[in-house]
Amino acid sequence: MTDRLDPLLRFHPFTRLNSLLQGIEPGHQRPLLFSVGEPQAAPPEMIKGPLVQNLAEWGRYPLAVGNAEFRCAATDWLNRRFHLPASMLDPERHLMPIAGTRQGLFFIALAALQEPVSASERPAVLMPNPFYHVYAGAAAMAGGEPVFLPATAATGFLPDPEAIDRRTLERTALAYVCSPANPQGAVASPAYLARWLGLARQYGFTVAFDECYSELYRDAVPSGALEVAAEAGGSLDNLVVFHSLSKRSSGAGLRSGFIAGEERMLKRIAQLVNYGGVAVPYPILAASTVLWRDEAHVAVNRALYNENFALARRILGNRMGATPGGGFFLWLDVGDGETAAKRLWAEAGLKVLPGGYMARAGANGQNPGERYIRVALVYDAAATQEGLERMARVLTSNVAAASEEAGS
C-alpha cells in the first residue's frame, strides 16, 4: 500500500534543510535566516484599531465565507488593481477569505480533483519545476499525479505551456501557475497568462493562479489572470486566483488571504473549510479589510524590498544574474546549492535554501534547482547589507578554491 504522507515528509524542503545543517554550528554570532520567505518588517499600525475594537468577535465561530465588509474590500481592491469592470466579480459569489494562501492552494487540489478525468489514470496536476512545495503536497494528498514542468533559464523561469503533450492535457484536472514566480521572481506577460487560460478552457481543467507576490515588483507592474479574463469577455470559468496579506502587508501571522474566481470551486472550498479547515476570525477580517483598502503602506513595503535588491546588485554584482521582476527572493547559481548552503551556514551564519529542495529531477535525471540557492531578502537594509557582504565573501572564496583545485 502506498503511503502518500511519507514522501511529503521526506521531501519537505525545510525538513531537508534541517537535516543538511544538523550538527553544523553557525559561523557567526548573529545568524541571519535568509531561508524562509517570512517578512521581518512590522505589520502596519493601522491593524491595531480593528483588532481591539472587535475583541468580542473572538467569541464567535467565523463563517467560511467571511463577512460582506471583507469581501467587498477585497473585490474593490481587485477591481482597482487589475482594472476590472464593476460587474465582473460578485463579492457574494466569486470571492471568499482563506486562512493564508497556503491553505487555499492546498484545498484547491481537493476541490478540483473531485471529478475523474480518466477511468484508468490518475488526474494530472501541472506545476512549475522548481515549485512552491504546497503544490506537490496538495496534488499527492488529493490523489493526483504531480507533473513537473521545467521552469529554467531556457524558458524564462516559467513553464512553457506549449510544450505539454496533448495526452497529459487531456487528463489534467488542475494547473498551478505562479507569477511573480517563487523562487525565481519571473513575471508572466498577459499573453502567457492567456495561453494558460485558453488551455484550461479547451481541455476542461482549473488553473490556480498564485499571485501572492503581485505587489512586490521592481519596475513593471505584474499583470493578473483576472485582468486577462476581463479582456477575454469576463468569464470566470476554469480559473481561481489567490492573494495574501503575508507579503503585501508584512502580515504573515494574520493568516489572511482570499480566493477569487469560479463560483463552483469556491463553494467546494467553503465546504472543505467547514469540514476540516480554519475560517478567518472576525477580528482578523476587520484588520484585513482595512489593509485591502490602503495602498500607502504597500508602496513603503515595496520600496524596502527594492532597496534590498539594489544592495544585492551592488554587493553581488554579476553573480546575481538578472534582477527578479517580482517577489523578494534571489535565485543564485552557485554551482552546487547544498554545498553552498552548508558553507554559508558554517562560515557566515547565513541560512539559505538549496534550490534543489524546491524541485524534482526531470526525465533527463537532472534537478533544475540543484545549482541554485534561494535567498529571501526579508530583513531591513542594514541586516540585508551585512548578510550579503558575508555571502559575497564566502561565495568568492568558494570560486577561488574551485579554481585552485581545477588548476592543481
The β-bridge partners of 351 are 33
> How far apart are the C-alpha atoms of 245 and 248, rounded to whole Å?
5
Same fold, 5-42+297-401 and 47-294: no
Is 214:326 a contact under the CB 8 Å cutoff? yes
pLDDT of residue 320: 81
**Binning pLDDT at 50, 70 and 90, where does residue 399 land?**
low
- The CATH fold assigned to 47-294 is Aspartate Aminotransferase; domain 2 (3.40.640)
- Mean pLDDT for 135-156 is 95
Q: Which residues contact 214 (CB under 8 A, 6 or more apart)?
A: 81, 179, 180, 222, 224, 243, 248, 326
pTM confidence score: 0.94
Cell numbers at residue 396, please? Answer: 568568492
> How far apart are the C-alpha atoms of 176 and 136, rounded to whole Å?
10
- Mean pLDDT for 174-197 is 98
**Chain CA centroid to CA 226, Å:** 18
> How far apart are the C-alpha atoms of 35 and 40, rounded to whole Å?
13
Is 384:41 a contact under the CB 8 Å cutoff? no
Cα Dmax for the chain: 72
Handedness of CA 46, 48, 54, 58 (dihedral sign): positive
- Mean pLDDT for 94-116 is 94
Please check the confidence at residue 11 and state whether its pLDDT lies above 90: no
Is 244:101 a contact under the CB 8 Å cutoff? yes
**Binning pLDDT at 50, 70 and 90, where does residue 91 land?**
very high
- Mean pLDDT for 51-62 is 97
- Mean pLDDT for 62-70 is 98
The β-bridge partners of 243 are 258
Q: Which residues contact 242 (CB under 8 A, 6 or more apart)?
A: 98, 101, 104, 105, 208, 209, 210, 211, 212, 257, 258, 259
Please check the confidence at residue 226 and state whether its pLDDT lies above 70: yes
Place of cell 526531470: 362
pLDDT of residue 4: 61
- Mean pLDDT for 139-144 is 94
* Residues 242-256 pLDDT 10s: 999 999 999 999 999
CA dist 30 → 33, 37, 83, 345, 390 (Å)? 10, 19, 45, 11, 11
Give the DSSP H or E segment for 350: strand 350-351
Between residues 196 and 1, the one the model is more confident about: 196
pLDDT of residue 1: 45
**Binning pLDDT at 50, 70 and 90, where does residue 400 land?**
very low
pLDDT of residue 120: 75
Domain layout of the chain by residue ranges? 5-42+297-401, 47-294
| CATH C-level class of 5-42+297-401 | alpha beta
Place of cell 474566481: 261
CA atoms within 13 A on the CB side of 71: 17
CA angle 51, 56, 60 (to 5 degrees): 105
- Mean pLDDT for 294-317 is 97
pLDDT of residue 322: 81
pLDDT of residue 398: 64
Share of the chain above pLDDT 70, in %: 94
Please provide residue 215's backbone torsions phi and psi, each rounded to the nearest 5 degrees: -95, 0
pLDDT of residue 75: 98
CA dist 51 → 41, 73, 126, 167, 253 (Å)? 19, 17, 39, 51, 13
- Mean pLDDT for 267-275 is 97
pLDDT of residue 7: 62
> How far apart are the C-alpha atoms of 256 and 260, rounded to whole Å?
14
- Mean pLDDT for 85-112 is 97
pLDDT of residue 3: 60
